[in-house]
Chains A and B, each alone.
Chain A
Amino acid sequence: MTAPQTKQQAAITLQGVSKSFGKVAVLKSLDLVVEHGAIHGLVGLNGSGKTTTLDCILGLRPIDSGAISVLDLPPSHLYRAEGRVVAIFDTPSLHTHLSVRQALEHARLLLPNPERDVDEVMSLLEINRYANYKVRSLSLGNRRRASIAHALLGNPELILLDEPFNGLDAGGVDEVLELISRFNREFGMSFLLSSHQLPYLQTICTHLSVLHEGRIAVSGSVESLLAATSARVEITTPQCEAAQELLATMSGLSIERIINNVLHIVLQGAKPAEINRKLIESGIEVEELVHGQASLNTVFREHTSDTPTSIASRGAL
């Protein structure tokens, strides 16, 4: 878990936040800290409560108990931040009967001191050619670009994004990743991103929290999480027992589990090549050896699953 932060350091603080829908407890005394200037990823399985967490932070959904502070404001008074906090939702929520330009002009009316004009943000997102198109006539990807342009009008301090990569093509994802990095680097904007796309998050996030069963299972800087996560090797062999006996004599590894002739091994210093060589030298047939580097996928799997899953299938999270 992240070390406790002072209020001045944290852009968002959640302490013991609980939220239920009827008898179903979605958030169970959830604690979360998002530091100023961080790009913080929030990941979790479907239905784990990521969107509910974001809604509670934004004051859109009342909480049952606990405390939330966003830029030192309670969520119910977030409007007092006067545009310093903005959100981009999983479904682009702009007025569909307006043109892109009108939707952005409308958003500008709500800001006390808009930092950027409509043309500037449209250029940033490369949606100038759609300026006079109705929002409803845009593709999902371009609607998402318009939503991001909508959020950038006021030079916010904190941006919350719910599934920001949904509906974007590969080029669009790269643009969004680049924009997030750039705005974080140049303007010190803080981001809280909820997403399933761990490979994308790994490229930009400075911090990550894994939400599981209504609680934060693990949270911290991406660096520290990766450092604390062991690499793994999966070895498929018809001589499982012999392999197990041999590996038990080696240091720097531990056998986590054996399922269907596959040994799941956690590396604690041992090298996969060394393991492979020893097995071959002992005459043990190795059908397949898969080496999984520590990644956010590994971190995620470790904290959301009780059973080991195939390394090969982890990329498809």
Chain B
Amino acid sequence: MESRPLVVVGAGVSGTAAAIEAARAGVQVTLIDENPVPTSLARLNVPQFFGQRFTDALRDKAAMMDRIAAANGALREAEEAGVDIQLGVCVWGAFRNSENSRILDGPQIGLADHERSSMMKYDRLIVATGSRDLSIGFAGWNLAGAMGANGAHSLMSRHQALSAQRIVILGSGNLGLSTAKMALDNGIEVAAILDVTPSVRGEKTLAAHLQSKGVDIYTSHTVKQAVGSNGDIESVVLVETDDNFEPVAGTEKVMSADTVCLAISLVPNIEILSLLDCDLNFKSHLGGYVPIHNDWMRTSVDTVFVAGDAAGFHDEMVLNREIARNQGRIAGIAAAESLGAINKSEARSLISEIGTGVPAVQPTEAHTIWKQWLNSLANAGGQDVIACQCEEVTRSEIIGLKPPRYLEWGSVQMSRRTLQTQLKDNPANPNQVKRLTRAGTGICQGRNCREQVALLLAEESNSDIADIPLSTYRPPLRPLPLNIMWPDDESEDVRNEWPKWFSPNNKVLG
């Protein structure tokens, strides 16, 4: 098995900055990024919510590698600093010894490119995996053309492969506003930006700039539905909302658009941190469950550091990428120090020049806006809207704790059971909802519904989303074909001494 002193996961702003600092401090650094992803995954909205709005260019892996490298100037700097850069490689697993798993040969990650998988040992890991789009379903969001802002950003900037013509943006924070600006810069029409809030959430100057370019911003509005034929969005119905996020009758507007972009908020990508059992906390102003870390970006697990959106996302970070960059630099220096490449005082002096890596402005809590959006969408579009696209589970089926439709199960007893009755027995638990309704068990691995399920559980249990436990992450963190997960390097011992269950000879499995 390969072994590296420092592996940085994610070649975005923070990960690249981390890699450069550590390499300059004399550490041999491996920087891994899963982009470009196979189109088979992109089609499933994994790992980013692309909404089928990518061009054929995405199929050309070599061309995409070039574009991704060109889009991030710092990558060249990293290369010059001697960083080993691996694009198109995902991290699907992370393993370390712990109380009930003691026989690993040191901490290691599972990697896969488009053809094969492997394991890599590390001494230190920096998780700079960024964030993903917060998805909340509206009627028609399972049509092609519903996508996420992060997905749109990625397709426009890194891949130059966004195929949208006319776009409606949900969310007036800096995330939504910057998506609109980038769309205009890429020659895409922006039909509207809307938000449930009574005023624009993001930078007023940016909003004014967009309005001067003819973009309409609708505050106190939500989506009633996206409409389309042949599986593609063709128009979007907006509706005004009152103070209780109820639709105002007679205010519907139909906008022609082929794309609806969810730009409500981003959620930190903490899957690897969760697998490694780093301590996590729900912090609303940082976008959900985030790792606990010290000033030097070290998590509760000594060998693991974190930087950028994965450490916590807030809207200011969209416009000010210095926050993520600084966190990355600090993590890179701290990891180098922990490996003994530089001493503590050197590290301290380097870090003191950077600043804290925390935002200048105290960010506001995020989940109030999540909740307002869910309420407005539920009020305008109803609860018979799909929440989990993979398993086609609606919000009302989650609230009703319904067994999946394919079981065709009906009984008096079952009809008496709902999420409410379940909550009398047990605190809200998304894993239990997952087991019973199958919401979150699909091929997107819950990326597009876990916050919705948590919001519904909070709503039904009259509690705060911060009190809803994290739905479990399990490897592989990406859908990985059997024949790619297949270990080429399987040892003869494992091969020949595969046990038959627990039993001695002549006993069978199962």
Question: Do the two chains belong together in a single complex?
Answer: no
Q: Chain A residues in contact with chain B, CB under 8 A?
A: none
Q: Chain B residues in contact with chain A, CB under 8 A?
A: none
